[in-house]
Amino acid sequence: MITSASTQSKPMKKRIVIFASGNGTNTQNIIKYFQNSKHAQVVCVLSNNKNAKVLARSLDLNIEALSFTKAEMLAPQGLLSLLNNRKPDLLVLAGFLLKFPEIIIDAYPNKVINIHPALLPKYGGKGMYGHHVHKAVVENKETHSGITIHYVNNHYDQGKVIFQKKTTIAPQDTPQDVAQKVQLLEHQWLPKVIEDVLTKPSL
């Protein structure tokens, strides 16, 4: 039977759920990037901090935004059920500061990615996030820093690297200067890499 183009079903958009802990500029940037995308959409933002600005930013863009407690993170069956109900194709950790639950990683193999504000394997591991990373980069007189986007496994910052981009660090740069340079890379590249991961599953 011949079906007219006007009645053919459109391919379903891939569904993204974001986990974030803080201000949420990366999350806001991702949401806006996919607002008019044919390929994917952000369907939910989750935070371990009920007062995180990321929740307000997401709600302002008409995205479901929910918080959860530390207890719910330590016994994450309820969180997993919530995710399953939203049928995500990809989970994105964008400034999420807690170790991600193994039960969720196991339920979504190769579907959880994280962005780290340094060039892994340097400056990774427990406690290495945000200002702590940039301070260490400056103290060690590094000439470059950058971003690493990687799959999440059961060890801090040790999953397979998907993408890295570096920026030059000048001798006079402060940790705040490094943070600004790294954030520019995050905003430029994270949404594009998410899109690539969803449209090119071999990544």
Q: Encode pLDDT of 145-199 as tens digits.
A: 999 999 999 888 899 999 999 999 999 999 999 999 999 999 999 999 999 999 9
pLDDT value of residue 7: 43
Q: List the chain residues with pLDDT less than 50.
A: 1-8
Among residues 47, 192, 187, 29, the alpha carbon closest in space to that of 117 is found at 187
The model's pTM: 0.91
Domains of the chain: 12-116+147-162+186-199 (3.40.50.170)
Q: Which residue in the list 116, 131, 150, 155 is annotated as catalytic?
A: 116
Helices (H), 69-174: 70-74, 77-86, 102-107, 130-139
CA distance 137 to 56: 31
Q: Is 116 a catalytic residue?
A: yes
pLDDT value of residue 4: 39
pLDDT value of residue 9: 56
Q: Extract the tokens encoding 126.
A: 């427990």
pLDDT value of residue 2: 43
